[in-house]
Copies of this chain bind each other. A is one copy, B any other.
Amino acid sequence: MLKEERHQAILNEVELHNRVLLTDIAEILGVSIDTARRDVKELDEENKLRKVHGGAISLSFTNYSPGHNIYALPQKTKIAEKAVKLLKDGGVILIDGGTTCLELARLIPLKLKLTCFTLSLPVAMELLSKPNVEVIFLGGVISKEAQIAIGANAVHHLSEIKVDYSFIGTGYVDAVYGLTEFDWDIVQLKKAVIKASKKAILLCISEKLNSQHRYKTCDLNEIHTLITELDPEDIMLKPFRNQQIHLL
């Protein structure tokens, strides 16, 4: 059997079933494990599939890029960079929805070992590319706009967990009125998130500071740390300084 035929057979198997074991290749094609491994390695180098421990998987599973343009991305990236530094190996965290939180998910180092809960579809998709992050999606009815799970079911799931850190966003935040939202459903959810976490970290671009809306999520003192893209000493953060909240 020609090598190219083996390659074709392996690719076909991977495309059809998304994965294949080296031992299966060896058996089906009647070659040694070593040859199967070499074949897979070559196909990997040609970017025809991805070699993994013990076998190979299809590329279509590893490639996901949201790619849309995100508003105020540089600021959000800066916030996410600060937030990443709080993560510890072996930690259990929750990541909320929203583009800032998505940015945090994106910046999680590949070698960092985490257990990560989320309610956000985009965040969950992003986390798929982190080999050492166990992803747990808290299910429920999906909100089309926010792309997150909401409703009683999601809230109930949250009542059953307690994470080290939760990284949350907010629609509006004010030094006096605390965190507020446009949506009643979202407020219920965020309350539950905060209750489910030992420490709640708020990721928020400075543009949202000193704004408020209809429904209240919580007071500022329920938030452990506020991360903005600003220097913690920035004048804009002055109203937040004389509170228990940490600034980063």
Q: Which residues of A contact B (CB under 8 A)?
A: 2-5, 8, 11, 15-19, 21, 47-50, 52-55, 57-64, 66-72, 99, 121-122, 124-125, 127-128, 131, 134-142, 144-147, 149, 153, 157, 171-172, 182, 207-208
* Chain B, Cβ-Cβ closest to A66: B48
Q: How far is B38's CA from A53's CA once the two chains are assembled, in angstroms? A: 15
Q: How far is B54's CA from A58's CA once the two chains are assembled, in angstroms? A: 28
**Distance to closest chain B CB from A213 (angstroms):** 8
**Distance to closest chain B CB from A139 (angstroms):** 3
Do A68 and B63 contact each other (CB < 8 Å), given the known contacts A5-B19, A208-B16?
A: yes
Q: Tell whether, in the assembled complex, residue A54 and residue B149 are in contact, meaning their CB atoms are under 8 Å apart.
A: no
Q: Tell whether, in the assembled complex, residue A144 and residue B131 are in contact, meaning their CB atoms are under 8 Å apart.
A: yes
The answer, among B63, B67, B137, for a CB contact under 8 Å with A142, is B137
Q: How far is B58's CA from A146's CA once the two chains are assembled, in angstroms? A: 10
Q: Which of A16, A59, A140, A141 has the most CB of B within 10 A?
A: A16
Q: Tell whether, in the assembled complex, residue A144 and residue B171 are in contact, meaning their CB atoms are under 8 Å apart.
A: no
Q: How far is B15's CA from A67's CA once the two chains are assembled, in angstroms? A: 9
Q: Tell whether, in the assembled complex, residue A182 and residue B121 are in contact, meaning their CB atoms are under 8 Å apart.
A: no
Q: How far is B54's CA from A131's CA once the two chains are assembled, in angstroms? A: 39
**Distance to closest chain B CB from A102 (angstroms):** 10
What are some 5 contacts across the A-B interface (CB < 8 A)?
A: A2-B54, A4-B62, A5-B19, A8-B61, A16-B71
Do A71 and B4 contact each other (CB < 8 Å), given the known contacts A131-B144, A137-B137, A142-B124?
A: no
Residues of B within 8 A of A4 (CB): 19, 50, 52, 57, 61-62
